[in-house]
Amino acid sequence: MLIVATLHRTDPRATVDPLTGRVGTEGYAGTASHADRCALEHALRLAEVFGARCLAVTAGPPEAEEVLREALACGADQALRIEAPGTPDPAGTAHLLHAGLAAHGARPDLVICGDRSADGATGTTPALLAGLLGAAQALGLIELAEDNGTTGPAALRAVRRLDGGRAEVLAVPLPAVCSVEAGQVRLRRASLAGTLAARTAAIPVVSVAAAPASRVRTGPVRAYRPRPRALPAPAGDTPRARLLALTGAHTPPRTSPRVLTPASPAEAADLLLAELRGLSRDAG
């Protein structure tokens, strides 16, 4: 059995340009996101329960190997880097992970991802990866553990957060792709021997072709603006007559303005209610 933990190198102190939305990162500050560290801990725990191998995978440039060495130091059995220059979109990342695992000869029974990272990620990569693998998916989980044979010898019990403070319990069959929220578990501390061994460990690298260009073309995002209604032109030979026709200022019945001086708040409320009832009758 093979359990894969996908890791994404991100800068926890990333800055966003308020004009362009471009995310700026510093190379020396790159590390796995909190959600990905939570996913790695879940993968290590389930590997111990099922007696499986844990493979840590990332798609990125050579600098991304730092997150893989941390995973090896914490107890991952293997690591794999998929060459990915630049920052692909979620669909491109899912394609790279799927093609890279296939090129490495890995057929995962379970893939655990972080729900989302802090550098503008949308959290859609796990769902797209599940579609490519043809696996079940359970996304945005707050708990993930063995199902103890309730629905099969190799099934998972997951808890997903719902709106309104509620939650739902899922029985997830394998193979599956799961994503977990940050903060549910804490990544274990790496031992000194594991850290030293991870510093010099050889990390396999595979290169795959980029995802084919999408056939769907999207334009710029704009606020919704309904189509204007076609209205007849106002009648009148002069600008004043047309303005009167548009505003209905001289159209009967016209109520003359009044100045009301109620003696108490209760009388003021009664006068307001009476006016509102009169307006409702006129509108009806």
Q: Which residue has the tokens 């491109």?
A: 92
pLDDT for position 223? 82
Residue 197 and residue 70 in contact, taking contact as beta carbons nearer than 8 Å:
no
Place domain 2-206 in its CATH homologous superfamily.
Answer: HUPs (3.40.50.620)
Amino acid 9: pLDDT: 76
CB 130 within 8 A of CB 177: yes
What's residue 120's pLDDT? 57
Cα separation, 98 vs 31, whole angstroms: 22
Q: What is the DSSP letter of 27?
A: G
CA distance linking residue 85 with residue 259, whole number of Å: 74
Q: How far is CA 124 from CA 110, 140, 180, in A?
A: 17, 10, 12
What's the pTM value of the predicted model, to 2 decimals? Answer: 0.65
pLDDT at 15: 67
Are the beta carbons of 160 and 138 closer than 8 angstroms?
yes
Instruction: Write out the chain's pLDDT in tens, 284 residues.
Output: 888 888 887 765 666 777 777 766 555 556 777 888 888 888 898 888 888 889 988 888 888 888 888 888 888 888 888 887 666 677 778 888 888 888 888 888 899 888 876 555 667 888 888 888 888 888 888 888 887 755 445 588 888 888 878 888 888 888 888 888 887 788 888 889 888 888 888 888 888 877 666 666 677 888 888 888 888 888 888 998 888 888 877 776 666 777 888 889 999 999 888 888 877 776 65
Question: Would you tell me how many other CB atoms lie within 10 Å of the CB of residue 10?
Answer: 25
Residue 139: both structure tokens together:
């996304």
* HEC assignment per residue over 50-112: HCCEEEEEEEECHHHHHHHHHHHHHCCCEEEEEECCCCCCHHHHHHHHHHHHHHCCCCCCEEE
Residue entry with tokens 């709106």: 163
The strand pairing partners of 57, in sequence order, are: 6, 80
Domain boundaries, given as residue ranges, for the chain: 2-206
Return the ∠ at Cα 253 (arms to 243 and 266), rounded to 5°: 110
